[in-house]
Every structure is written in C-alpha cells, then in structure tokens.
Amino acid sequence: MQFEVNLRWVRAAGFGLAVSIGVTSPAQEKPVRDAISKAEAARAEGKTERAAAELRMIATELSCVADADARKSLTTEVDALFGDLDPLAPRLKKAFAAAAGKLVAVAEQYSGKGWHRSALELLVLARDFDAASTKEAFEDLSKALGDTVATRVNLDFAAGEAIYTKGKWVIEDGVIRSPPMPEHFASYFSGNRVPPEFSYSARVQLPSEGAVGGLLFGISSVEEMYEVVVFRENGQGHGIVSRRHTDGRTKLWESRPEAPFDADGNVAFDVRVEVRGARLRCWIGKEESEPMNLGDPLAPGFVGLTGWSGRKGLVTGPVVEWSNVEVTR
C-alpha cells in the first residue's frame, strides 16, 4: 500500500503551536512559496478551483515566518494571487476573521476556568482562519500554560495521538512499542509541530540482532525529514544520523556506541538530538557528535519514531521499544 499524506492539510494535526524562533530563513518561507508555486501551476493548467484551494488555508505557514517584513511581503503576494483566483476571496476573508474571533472568545473562557488544553486546541483552529487575530491570545495562553509545545508533543506520545502511522503501535505505561512489520519499517509521527529549536530524546531498546530503532525530526512529508537510528550489528552498537529526501539518504554522522546487554539479551541506547538554529548535535549512549551544520534553521516540523524488529516474516514477538520519550525547549 502506498502512503501519502500532505501534512499541511491535516487539520486535526494542527493542535501544536508553530512557534518561530530567531531570524527568518528560506526554510520558514518554503511552505508558503511551495503553495504559491502549486497555485500558479494549477492555474496554468486551467484548474482555478484547485489553485485557490492551495492558498486558502496557509495562515499558519505565514505566521511561522519570523521576520515581519518578509511575512508582510508574502501575505501581500498570497492575498493578491488568491483574490485573482477566487472572486469570493474578500467575503471568505471576512468569514474567516469572524470565525476566528468567535473561537478566540470561547478559548479565553476556557483558559479563564483553567482548561488550558481545550483553549489551546480552539486557538490553533482559530489561527488556521486568521493568524493575526490570535497572536495576543496565544501569548496570554503560553504564559498560563508554560512550555506548551513540549507539553502537547509529549501528550501525543503518551496518548497515541498521531498524524500518521505505519503499522499498529502500542502505547502503555509510558512505553511505546512498534508494531511487528514483516518487511518494512514502522513509522509514527506526532500530531504536533515543534518549533525550530528543541531537544528530543528517548531510550531505545532493541530486542534482536538486526533490530533498528530511532527518532525522526524536522518532518515535512513522509519522504523528507532527519533521523537518528541505532541498530545491532554483529553484537555491536551502531548509530547513524542522516537526512531523508526523495532521492534517498544523506549521512551526516556515524558512531559505534557501546552495546550494553541486559539479562534478556536486549540492548538499550539513550538517544538525544538538539537543534539550535542551523546547528544539530546528537548523543547516542556515551558518544557525542560534533555540531553539524544544517545550512538553514529548521522550519517548525513534526517529530516521530521509526523502527524494525530485524526479523523478516515476524507477525508476533519481540519488537523495538521506546521509553522516556521527551521533547523540551
């Protein structure tokens, strides 16, 4: 089965704060530029309705552009193109603003009674309609709720709220277990975007020779992301950091961490990645990478897990496990 997900259009997955940190980079502008390019291509093919649809719900992406001048310029460009494509654009914009205002009002009531999570979910829906009108409400809620992004992503892993999965994952008592996948890797994407700067860590337990487990981050599609994976090879530990893209993988760092076996023959590695601006660092067990230059700061993206038991034909039996999964700022 072929899996295709356009993350930008999965509304139910938008329950995280797409916070911009630092200066605007091409990576922050890319989702907006891509939407404009797709709209122009669709218009050239005579598909006006599809072209308008590409621009209709990109308020969140525009809000992620940190630089005010760049954001204003892109907004003007989007509004002009959208208005040219859709004669009802002015009425739709007013309707969106009205809907956002009503959602913000109810969110503030929820926040006032201490129901901050409910308030956050409503504000994210409101931001999809009109990002500008929700800015102040987001700031007030962030003060009340604290580190909202990390809280929501960690709740995703605790409750099994995913934007995309490959296989049936089991989450209980703080442990995440990958599904048995006879031939392929299992995948799990958190339903919330994290900001461009974050730390992401977990303990990865591998049950057998050839087993692979890892962390995914900077996810922009099912084919484009960064990953750090650990695996067992000839009784030794092996770790690799790479960037996945449509043409394959580009390796960024490789290590040979010690492989501490427990009484049942399992191996567990503590894995952590830290992104600060365009700098990436990684820890696998006691091994630490030098800072890696990503070129541009990451845009707000999703994080996830990937793993394989290492046993072809496995239907039941030992699987990769993750514990202490945590995202922090």
Residue 284 structure tokens: 């696998």
Q: What percent of the chain has pLDDT over 90?
A: 19
- Same domain (yes/no): 131, 159: no
- Provide the CB-side half-sphere exposure for 52 (13 A, CA): 14
Is 228 or 29 the better-scoring residue by pLDDT? 228
Residue 6 lies in a domain: no
Q: How many residues does the chain have?
A: 329
- Same domain (yes/no): 167, 118: no
Residue 2 lies in a domain: no
Please give the average per-residue pLDDT across 6-14, as a whole number.
29
Residues of the domain holding 289? 151-328
Of the pLDDT bands very low, low, confident and very high (cuts 50, 70, 90), residue 312 is low
Domain-ending residue, one of 113, 146, 179:
146
- Same domain (yes/no): 131, 157: no
Structural domain total, the chain: 2
- Same domain (yes/no): 311, 224: yes
Please give the average per-residue pLDDT across 6-24, as a whole number.
30
Q: Are 165 and 171 in contact (CB under 8 A)?
A: no
- Same domain (yes/no): 160, 141: no
Q: E strands within 112-266? A: 162-166, 170-172, 175-177, 186-194, 198-206, 212-219, 225-233, 236-245, 248-255
* Cα 152 from Cα 295, distance rounded (Å): 28
The 10s digit of each residue's pLDDT in 182-218 is 666 788 888 777 877 889 999 999 887 778 899 999 9
- Provide the CB-side half-sphere exposure for 218 (13 A, CA): 27
Is 34 or 318 the better-scoring residue by pLDDT? 34
Q: Are 301 and 61 in contact (CB under 8 A)?
A: no
Domain-ending residue, one of 146, 180, 203:
146
Helices (H) and strands (E) in the chain, counts: 8, 15
Lowest model confidence (mean pLDDT) among 65-79, 160-174, 292-306: 160-174
- Same domain (yes/no): 197, 279: yes
Mean pLDDT of the chain: 77
- Same domain (yes/no): 203, 100: no
The 10s digit of each residue's pLDDT in 120-144 is 678 767 877 776 777 777 667 655 5
